[in-house]
Structure 1
């Protein structure tokens, strides 16, 4: 097949995250299986307009919002060169059904009701949520949907997507867990592995740190990742009085990420919403269990509560869960081992094979442009 992914960003974008890792990982696996794969995404400072990576051709056009118009224009020009389009609906759709009747698959990691309210309070957020919750179901009716968790599938059904049209393809893992579990740091350490954006609620990790400082001497927090909310988080750490116990590492290599996560005793994920949360899987691969909010959706599947980590209801419960696990080495290590086993069972190859079936079916009908 000739497959085109339309995505707002790629993994080299400063705001790139788990959604972009999913797209490129599945694209890489599809290319390895003999398909011709193109990823169209926005440009960013220092990026090349055209690049080939892992068998996937990247074409970068437009900016944060104009990429959507460029994407439609590219589809019109190349309508006979593409068998199936994967339209990545990251809050806003590319609206590819406007220029293609067939051969369109929508990829949604999660719906963004909470994010619209948090990041764009007021009219802009209400418009964004209207587009996602009302126009997307109308525009993509009778098109197949891919998503990464049963939780996200239920949320899609709640906004009007037919359940029969939804296929769940869970995230994989880029590298198998190491044969030897990394050693924990000598003193208690927490880690947050995340983009630095408001809806990840990393401020809650600072509150956990402050409330446990007298209970666990030497407790430290490593924040791994970067994003446009960085300055606000630095200020939040100062406001909590934990600046000297927090290290902001920014973007790091995969090897450095694994080192930081592996030496942590626990990973804290206070995000409002996740489709799956690749960071939890990546932490589990290093034998590090996670604590997250059960209300965040997909984390209820990337964490098996009480076995590979803990799911909690609010900040108070998060503090207590972290406290208990930091004090209980036996239970913590058992959870880490189970998290590692779960991570080892997830591969991008299996994810791509499942997605490939949906793409083949969508592409088999061919395309008839309006």
Structure 2
């Protein structure tokens, strides 16, 4: 089949992250099974408008919001050629592909953005965005198959009116770490990994560092990733008096990312919302447990509470859970072993197979 993925970004984009990595894993899986796969996404500085990688063709056009109109128009007027199936990747907003093609449409959605709209786009824009996501999109795709990554997101979609029997779950896999694991740091380190945007709430990780600074004078927070919220986070670290103990690494390559995760005593994920949390498994490969908010949704499945990490409800509980891991070596080792076992059980091959079956149907 000729399959088109419509996605806001790809992994090469400066704001690309775990959801984009998931999309490309599914696209590669389809290409490996003999399908002709194209990923349509936004243009960014230094990117090629048309290139092929790992058997998947990438066609880029438009910027952050213009990409939606560009992809819709190109699909409507046949610029992508004959298309047998479309995967509409909804990162808050759909591409309205049901109005642009007669081909079957599969909706791929990592999580619902109810909590994120007012944080990232306060005011009218956020209200309109939530209306589109919560009311217009479920109506427009009322006959389409949905795919999501967790039971938590499936339930959110059901709450928005999507039929449960049209929602399939295809979990994230875990990619092998590049090379041998780096040694654990001799002194305590926390690691936060992801885009630096408000809803990732990295401020909570900085607050945890500040609250534990006196009892753990050697504690350091490594922040890997970048984004438009970085200056705010830098200022927050200065206000809390820990600017010299927060290491902002910016975007890092795969080897550096895994080194930081291996050195860390605990991975902190204070995100407001996560469909799954790809970095949980990446940290788990190195026996590094995760502390996260249960209310984030997908974390309730990517983290096995008190087995591969700890799920909490409040910032105070977040700090307490991190402190317990830092101060109790046996507890830290127990959670680390559980994190490693869970990470090693997650297979991208199995996820690709399941996704391919859904698209074929």
TM-score (norm 2): 0.97
3-state SS, counterpart of residue 64 of structure 1: coil
Give the distance between the partners of 1:271 and 1:40, measured in 2 at CA: 28
1:176 offset after TM fit, Å?
A: 5.6
Counterpart of 2:137 in structure 1 is: 136
Number of residue-to-residue matches in the alignment: 360
Counterpart of 2:23 in structure 1 is: 23
1:33 counterpart = 2:33: yes
Does structure 2 retain, via aligned residues, the 8 Å contact 1:6–1:41? yes
1:173 counterpart = 2:174: yes
Give the distance between the partners of 2:228 and 2:16, measured in 1 at CA: 11
Counterpart of 2:289 in structure 1 is: 289
Counterpart of 1:218 in structure 2 is: 218
Give the distance between the partners of 1:256 and 1:176, measured in 2 at CA: 11
Give the distance between the partners of 1:169 and 1:177, measured in 2 at CA: 24
Give the distance between the partners of 1:102 and 1:209, measured in 2 at CA: 51
Residues 304-325 of structure 1: CA distance to partner in whole angstroms, max 9, x if unpaired?
0000000001000011111111
1:62 offset after TM fit, Å?
A: 1.1
Give the distance between the partners of 2:80 and 2:291, measured in 1 at CA: 46
1:177 offset after TM fit, Å?
A: 8.4
Does structure 2 retain, via aligned residues, the 8 Å contact 1:176–1:344? no
Residues 38-80 of structure 1: CA distance to partner in whole angstroms, max 9, x if unpaired?
0000101111101111111000011111111111122121576
Does structure 1 retain, via aligned residues, the 8 Å contact 2:148–2:154? yes
Give the distance between the partners of 1:317 and 1:64, measured in 2 at CA: 36
1:348 counterpart = 2:348: yes
State the Cα RMSD in Å. Answer: 1.3
Residues 270-315 of structure 1: CA distance to partner in whole angstroms, max 9, x if unpaired?
0000000101111111210000001000001000000000000100
Counterpart of 1:203 in structure 2 is: 203
Residues 70-127 of structure 1: CA distance to partner in whole angstroms, max 9, x if unpaired?
1112212157621110000110100000022441000000000111010111111000
Unaligned ranges ≥5, structure 1: 362-370
Does structure 2 retain, via aligned residues, the 8 Å contact 1:182–1:287? no
Deviates more, 1:251-260 or 1:346-355: 346-355
3-state SS, counterpart of residue 161 of structure 2: coil
Counterpart of 1:249 in structure 2 is: 249
3-state SS, counterpart of residue 59 of structure 2: strand
Give the distance between the partners of 1:154 and 1:315, measured in 2 at CA: 25
Give the distance between the partners of 1:55 and 1:101, measured in 2 at CA: 25
Residues 122-172 of structure 1: CA distance to partner in whole angstroms, max 9, x if unpaired?
111000000000001000001000000000000111111110000000011
Does structure 2 retain, via aligned residues, the 8 Å contact 1:26–1:349? no
3-state SS, counterpart of residue 113 of structure 1: coil
Where does 1:40-55 land on structure 2 (aligned, <5 Å)? 40-55=40-55
Does structure 1 retain, via aligned residues, the 8 Å contact 2:281–2:302? yes
Between the two structures, name the one with larger relative contact order (CA 8 Å, sep ≥ 6). Answer: 1
Structure 1 stretches of 4+ moved >4 Å:
none
